[in-house]
Structure 1
Amino acid sequence: MAASALPDGFSDFAMSAFGTVLFVEGLLGFCLNATAALSFLLIKDQRTPSNFLVFNLNISDLMLNINALIGAYASYVRVWPYGTEGCNIHGFEGSVAIYATISFVALIAWDKYHYWCTKQEFYWATSGTMCVGVWVASIFWAALPLPSFGWGEYDFEPMRTCCCLDYTEGDWKYASYMLTIAFVYLLVPWGVMRSSYDSIYAYFKKTHSFKFNTFIPEATLFATWGPYLVLLLYSCVADAKTVSPQFRMVLPVWAKTSTIFNAFIYSYTNKTYKDGIWRLLGGGQKIAEKNKTF
């Protein structure tokens, strides 16, 4: 493709570089989350109500990994090959994954609070109902920008090889939708995480036994998704096109690395999940309930 046909602000090298980053993070995240999800399905001892939340997080992150790999392919061919309908599907699928992921990390925090502070564990009915609720809510909110509903819309990201919520118009439809999403999928999950991990930290401090770092999950969520969220909120009050196209592309690409961090935080350093993964790979021991830690 001729250089003049490339998106504004992107050289041929930049297209390849972004595509490579998307491919590496998408593939690495896919391998990590797929292995973790398979261990839940195949290792009987691992199938507990609490681990079911982590399994659903693996699935939502896998969806985001697939989203990134599709973007990587489009970056290499230098054009979005799936048309307008494909763009809407890509944006919808990515939004479902994002909303579900944020919901599940909040629910996992709440589960940990009950495990450590109230000495109660979720039953299957509770865990299953919450997971179904998360997926239904995520699909509902992600569907609203589709043409059938029209509250916001999906369009190309600056490189025109991925699709997301169109923040460049900044009209009242976008602003009202974005502010609602910020409340539902930022303030509410953050409140759950903060209260849960603060209570767990207080319990650990009281017992003088710190089982895990309560700061990391919350910090990881904001470190990965925070910069992109700032851009989306900035677009509610100002013209996002004044921001460099390459910088606007860096933010969602960086946000997708959350799938890798989540895999390590919630699966590969989770005692029961980690043991199940190693057993799946042939090198682990039988999970002992008395050794269960999160």
Structure 2
Amino acid sequence: MTVIRIPEAFSDFDIFAFGTFLFAEGALGFVLNSIAALSFILVKEQRDPSNFLVFNLNIADLLLNINTLIGAYSSYLRVWPYGIEGCNLHAFQGTVGIYACISLLALVAWDKYHYWCTNQELYWATSGTMVVCVWVTAIFWAALPLPSFGWAEYGFEPMKTCCCLDNTKTEGGFVSYLLAISCVYFLIPLLIMHDSYSSIYAYFKKTHKFKFNTCIPEMVLLLSWGPYAAFCLYACVYDPLEFSPQFRMMLPVWAKTAPIWHAILYSFTNVAYKGGIWKLLTGQKIEKIKTS
């Protein structure tokens, strides 16, 4: 198996800093999302169709956390030890998590809209069907850049300790693939979230009862994945190698903090979910878990 070494453009400090940041965000996100996911599995009162969406969001984020921890491990080794085949598998696994995660953010927003604005609760059949569709489509789109299909291409991030969609090879199908997933996995989910939370805000304003800040979910998506998505779109037109390897490495590393914010926002501060987490951690009974 071919061993890929870290480029000389990265100093010892760069390697240590990126590796430590990857480990910190991967480990923290893994712990938070594991606790949240276990609360759904082990706490009976936690298991309802709406919380099932959040549970799957936890699972999607855990995939990305594992992907991040592998990158941290490779950074400390100062080599990518798994060869090109391992790079493709690593990128595929992380991409499935990303696509599923962003889709589920939109579904959670859609569910909240119906709960607050139309008084419609989610049924298990609907929740289960949507979750299956999310995972199947995420696997489908993430598989397309693999060598077997060849629409775009997976490759190493600048420090060669993680793998993702290669935005330095703009020939072939990269541009068409990136534009397609930008629409499917960024623009459409963002529009669904914006429309849903805007309607919820209007309802809260009408009733003068603000249950949560409706701006935060969109801000989390834009601040975590927005810079990296914008850079990938920039690469469709201009040469991304004009920027330093350190800058190009910072963008995906920062984007991988998203699972931490998701765990805090959708699990630990979610009225419908945090009660189950509290029972899991303390053993105290839950009188009633309110849907939010």
Alignment CA distance shift 1:233-1:284 (3 Å): farther
User: What does 1:274-285 correspond to in 2, within 5 Å?
Assistant: 274-282=274-282, 284-285=284-285
Q: Aligned partners of 1:255, 1:44: CA distance in 2, in Å?
A: 33
Mapped partners of 1:70, 1:104: distance in 2: 24
Identify the residue that residue 145 of structure 2 maps to in structure 1.
145
Greater CA deviation, 163-172 or 44-53?
A: 163-172
Residue in 2 aligned with 1:189?
Answer: 189
- How much has 1:6 moved relative to structure 2? 4.0
Per-residue displacement from partner, 1:55-90 (whole Å, max 9, x unpaired)?
Answer: 000000000000000000000000100011100000
The aligned residue for residue 232 of structure 1 is 232
For the Cα contact (< 8 Å) 1:275–1:287, is it kept in 2? no
1:103 corresponding residue in structure 2: 103
Residue in 1 that maps onto 2:211? 211
Q: 1:220 corresponds to which residue?
A: 220
RMSD of aligned residue pairs (Cα, Å): 1.0
Instruction: Measure, in 1, the Cα distance between the counterparts of 2:74 and 2:277.
Output: 33
- Alignment gaps of 5+ in structure 1: none
Per-residue deviation at 1:172?
3.8
SS class of match (1:281): helix
Aligned to 2:180: 180
Partner of 2:63: 63
The residue number in structure 1 matching 2:264 is 264
TM-score by length of 2: 0.97
SS of alignment partner, residue 213 of structure 1 = coil
Shift of 1:169: 1.4
Counterpart for residue 32 of structure 1: 32
Deviates more, 1:270-279 or 1:38-47: 270-279
Structure 2 counterpart of 1:46:
46
- Paired residue total: 288
TM-score of the aligned structures, taking structure 1 as reference length: 0.96
- For the residues of structure 1 that align with 2:73 and 2:283, how far apart are their CA atoms? 35
Q: Secondary structure of the residue that 1:51 maps to in structure 2?
A: helix
- State the alpha-carbon separation in 1 of the partners of residues 285 and 275 from structure 2: 7
Determine the C-alpha separation between the residues in 2 that align with 1:196 and 1:102. 15
Shift of 1:12: 1.3
Residue 7 of structure 1 aligns to a residue whose secondary structure is coil
Query: Counterparts of 1:27 and 1:131 in 2: how far apart (Å)?
Result: 26
Q: Which one-letter code corresponds to 1:50 in the other structure?
A: S
The one-letter code of the counterpart of 1:263 is A
| Equivalent position SS for 1:155 | strand
Structure 2 regions of 5+ residues with no counterpart? none
Matches of 1:282 and 1:140, distance apart in 2: 40
Residue type at the aligned position of 1:84? I
Q: Which runs of 4+ in 1 moved over 2 A?
A: none
1:126 to 2:126 alignment: yes
